[in-house]
Amino acid sequence: MIVEDYLNLPFPHVMAGISPALSVWEGQRLDLCISRLLADEPVQHIIGHCTFCGHTFSVNPSVLIPRPETEQLVSMAMSLPALPEHAVVMDACTGSGCIAVSLKKEKPEWQLYACDASTEALQTARENATLNETDIAFSQVDVLSSERPTGPFDIIVSNPPYVMDKEKTSMEPRVLKHEPHMALFVPDDNPLIFYKAIAAWGKQSLNPGGWVVVEINPLLAEETSDIFTHQGYENCEIINDIFGKQRFIRCQK
């Protein structure tokens, strides 16, 4: 990624020894990149962007780097049954805006809203909406507060914080050092706090038959599903990700 994106050289040509020799300046840039990689800085931060659902997104330390498995969340939202043609969608805890922007790119007739508690994340999300030429209504909203938009929505989609504090010891340094803890972690004594809030929000703001689609912690799949079931949601389903882990829940009001 560094060779191809940062130095603008075809990697196969470099490996085959048929690319031009690096200039002194290019060599210095490469050395700097290697130093940053060795300091556990994510390559996406070094080059400044990543690809998600085939689209380019700017990333920085204020937002999570979009993960490949989250692309499945976008696909799930688009394939929900019995949606109106002009569905109204809220992307809660939008971060980089990758979910909302990807949905709008694939479903331009949908009306997309997105919110986050972080001012810096919203700035990045707005930049990504502009970069991808999508019209999305962003707002600064703390999902855990009672001051949430009332919609009505046809879908609430979210990849909220769900990693328990005790899981930090098993995580990679590049994540712990360079990605926002606010977007990652929840307290060990209340790890499902965001799902409780989203379930309550959906009961208040979803149209009848509307859907909640969320990414979850595989360690707490059944407990998370129970939250939505106990709130009266129907058709609650735990879905595996591309790696075979219980990663998503979809359910219907």
Class for the domain spanning 61-252: alpha beta
For residues 169 and 176, what is the distance between their CA atoms, to the nearest angstrom?
10
Residues 132 and 55 sit within 8 Å (Cβ to Cβ): yes
For residues 125 and 94, what is the distance between their CA atoms, to the nearest angstrom?
7
Enumerate the domain spans of the chain. 2-39, 61-252
Tell me the residue type at 112.
L
Residue 161 phi/psi, 5-degree rounding, is -60, 135
Q: How many C-beta neighbours within 10 Å does residue 198 have?
A: 26
Residues 86 and 97 sit within 8 Å (Cβ to Cβ): no
> Can you give the pLDDT of all 253 residues of the chain as single tens digits?
888 887 788 888 878 888 778 788 888 988 999 999 999 999 999 999 999 999 999 999 999 999 999 999 999 999 999 899 999 999 999 999 999 999 999 999 999 999 999 999 999 999 999 999 999 999 999 999 988 999 899 999 999 999 999 999 999 999 999 999 999 999 999 999 999 999 999 999 999 999 999 999 999 999 999 999 999 999 999 999 989 999 999 999 9
Angle at the Cα of 144 from the Cα atoms of 230 and 192, rounded to 5 degrees: 45
pTM as predicted = 0.92
Q: How many C-beta neighbours within 10 Å does residue 148 have?
A: 21
